[in-house]
A and B are shown apart, each in its own frame.
Chain A
Amino acid sequence: MGDIKIKVNIEDRLYLNRYAANTVSHLSIKDQTVCAKCKEKPCTDFCPAHVYEWKEGRIVAGFEGCLECGACRIGCCHDNIEWRFPRGGNGVQFRLA
C-alpha cells in the first residue's frame, strides 16, 4: 500500500456546502514563531477543509471553509491553535448526513 497520487481541489468539495458566513475568525494561531519552527506543519495536510496554509512565512487560517471537526485543535503538535465554535448560527450548516 503506497501513497496517493490523486490530487483534489478542495474548493470543489467545500463549494457543495452551505455556509452562514462568519464575520470574525473562530480560529487563530497562538504564536506564529512556533509554526515557523514546526518542521512538519501537519495541519496543512490533515485539515479536511485545507483551512491552514503556509504562506510567506506564516500559517494562514482560511476559517471560512472550516467544517468545525476539531481535528486541528487536537492534532496540532504544539497546541498552537486557538479553536472556538463560530458564533451561534454561523459557519457550516449541513442539510443531509
Chain B
Amino acid sequence: MAEKFDAIVVGAGVSGLAAAYTMAKAGLSVIVIERGQYPGSKNVMGGVLYRHMMDEIIPDFWRDAPLERPVVEQRFWFMGRESVVQTGYKGMEWAKPPYNNFTVFRGKFDQWFAKKCIEAGALIINETVVEECLIKDNKVVGVRTDRPDGDIYADVVVLADGVNSILARNLGFHREWRPNQVALAVMEVLKMPSERIEERFNLDKGMGATIEIFGDGTLGMIGTAFIYTNKEHISIGCGTLLSQIREKHIKPYELLEYLKQHPIVRPLIAGSEPCEYYAHLIPEGGYDSIPKLVGDGVLVVGDAAQFVNGIHREGSNLGMTSGHFAADTIIHAKKIGEYDERALSHYRDVLYNSFIIKDLKKYRNASHTMEANPKFFNHYIPASNKAMSEMFIVDGKSKADRQRLAFERITEGRSKLGLVSDMLKIWRAVK
C-alpha cells in the first residue's frame, strides 16, 4: 500500500472533507482516512450547519444534501430553577432559499459529503486509524495506519483528526489541552413526529428552531444547554467546561437528565423516545489555544486547530472554511512544487485575514472572563429571573416599589458599583 498521493487527509469530518473535495476538484490525487465504519460515524455535533461556508465549497449543496430543517428561529433562554427569561429572533427571510443555517445529522450529512468527494475523484478509506505521521529529514512525508503494510505517502498531510488531535500533539504543535480549554458535551436524540415538533415549537411545516440555554440548564456552570429541532427528532444536550464539571463531581448524563426533567423543558420533549446518546469534547480555548498550524509537509484544520467560536456556537463552518483554505494553499504549493513550512504558511496568512481568526481574537478573553467570574452564570441569571418575577407581580404595590424590588434582586449581596464593574467586564469580553 506504499502509494504516494498529492495529499493525505486524516479524518472525514466536514473540515477534512472540505479540504479533500476542493483538492480533488482541482485534479490533485487525494486520500481521506477515516477511523469509523463510515464518515460521520464518530462525529458529534449539536446540529447547526451554516449555509454560506458550505455553499462556497459546493454551490447550492442544500438542494441535494440530507438536511433536517432550515432554522427560522433562534431562541435564548436564561433559565432559573423553575423559570426562564427569554429572548431570541424569528425571521421569515430565513424560511426562503438560500436559507441561513440548517439543523443536520452528521451521521447522514458527512456520508453525503464524502460521496461528493468520491465523485470529485478523492479516495476515502474507512475503518482505518492513523497512528502516526511519517517523518523524513524533519518533514512529514506520510502516515502510518493500523492496517498491515499501512504506510501511505504524500507531499502534504492535512490533520483533520478532530479535537483530540493526537497527531498534532505528537508533532509538538500543541501541548495536551487543559481541562479548561475543552467543554464536555453530552446529547440525546429524541424521536418525535414532525407535526408535533411543529406544534410545540410554533413552526411552519419543515421549518426549524434552536434554543440555547444558559443558567440552570448547566446548574450555573460555565457552558450552555441546547434544544434543536430536526425533521422527526429533537436534539437536546448540555456542555460545560471539563474543569467545572470535574470540580463539581457531577455525572454528565445526570445533568442531562436534570435538563430533560426541568419544568421549563419537560413539556417540549414530553412523549418523545430516546434514540441515541452521545458525548463529545468541544475545543473552547479560542485564540490563545490555536496550535502551530503549519509545518514542513503538514497543515492542521478544524477542531484539531481549536477553530470553534463558543460564544456564537459556530464550529463546523470555521472547520470547513479552514479546510477550504488549506486545500487552496496545497493546490498552489503543487504548482510551484514546494511543500515546506514557508510555502504552506500561506494557509496561516489567509486564516489570520479571515473571519476565523478575527472572530476568535475578538472573543479571546470571553472564556477567561467567565471562568474568573462565575457569578455571570450562577448569580446574574437566577437574579434576572427573580427580577422579572418581581416586575410582573400585580399585588397593589406601586410600580416604583416593584421596580425597586426588581433592582434589589439583581444587586442582592453586592454593591451598585460592583454591578457596574461586572457589566463592564462582560461588555469588554464580548465587545
Q: Interface of A with B (CB < 8 Å)?
A: 1-4, 6-8, 10, 13-14, 16-17, 20, 40, 42, 45-46, 48-50, 67-71, 73-75, 79, 85-89, 91-97
Contacts and interface: CB of A to CB of B under 8 A. Distances in A.
A14 to B, nearest CB: 7
A87 B146 contact: yes
B238 to A, nearest CB: 11
A70 B81 CA distance: 31
Given A45-B251, A96-B233, A97-B44, A71 B382 contact: no
Contacts of B186: 48
Contact of B281 (A3, A40, A49, A70): A70
A6 B258 contact: yes
B275 A1 contact: no
A97 B42 contact: no
Contacts of A87: 129, 146
A84 B361 CA distance: 32
Contacts of B188: 13, 16
Given A48-B252, A93-B36, 17 more contacts: A4-B251, A13-B277, A42-B246, A46-B251, A67-B277, A75-B246, A85-B129, A88-B35, A88-B145, A88-B146, A89-B36, A94-B42, A95-B276, A96-B105, A96-B107, A96-B276, A97-B43
B257 A94 contact: no
Contact of B81 (A1, A14, A94): A1
Contacts of B252: 46, 48
Contacts of A92: 42
B71 to A, nearest CB: 16
Contacts of A75: 179, 184, 242, 246
B178 interface: yes
A62 to B, nearest CB: 15
B184 A89 contact: no
B107 A97 contact: yes
A60 B235 CA distance: 31
Interface of B: 35-38, 40-45, 47, 81, 105-108, 126-129, 145-147, 163-164, 166, 176-179, 182, 184, 186-189, 216, 219-220, 233, 235, 242, 245-246, 249-255, 257-258, 261, 274-281, 378, 382
Given A48-B279, A50-B251, A97 B37 contact: no
B188 to A, nearest CB: 8
Given A4-B258, A8-B251, A20-B37, A46 B245 contact: yes
Contacts of A4: 219, 250-251, 254-255, 257-258
B279 A94 contact: no
A40 B280 CA distance: 23
6 contacts: A10-B251, A13-B274, A50-B251, A70-B182, A85-B35, A88-B126
B163 A70 contact: yes
Nearest to A9: B253
A94 B276 contact: yes
B124 to A, nearest CB: 13
Contact of B242 (A8, A46, A89): A46
Nearest to B186: A48
Contacts of A42: 246, 249
Given A1-B220, A46-B245, A73-B164, A96 B275 contact: yes
Contacts of B246: 42, 45-46, 75
A49 B280 CA distance: 11
Nearest to A93: B41
A88 B128 CA distance: 4
Nearest to B274: A16
A28 to B, nearest CB: 15
A53 B261 CA distance: 27
Contacts of B129: 85-88
A89 B38 CA distance: 8
Given A48-B252, A88-B146, A69 B184 contact: yes
Contacts of A20: 37
B276 A45 contact: no
A3 B245 CA distance: 12
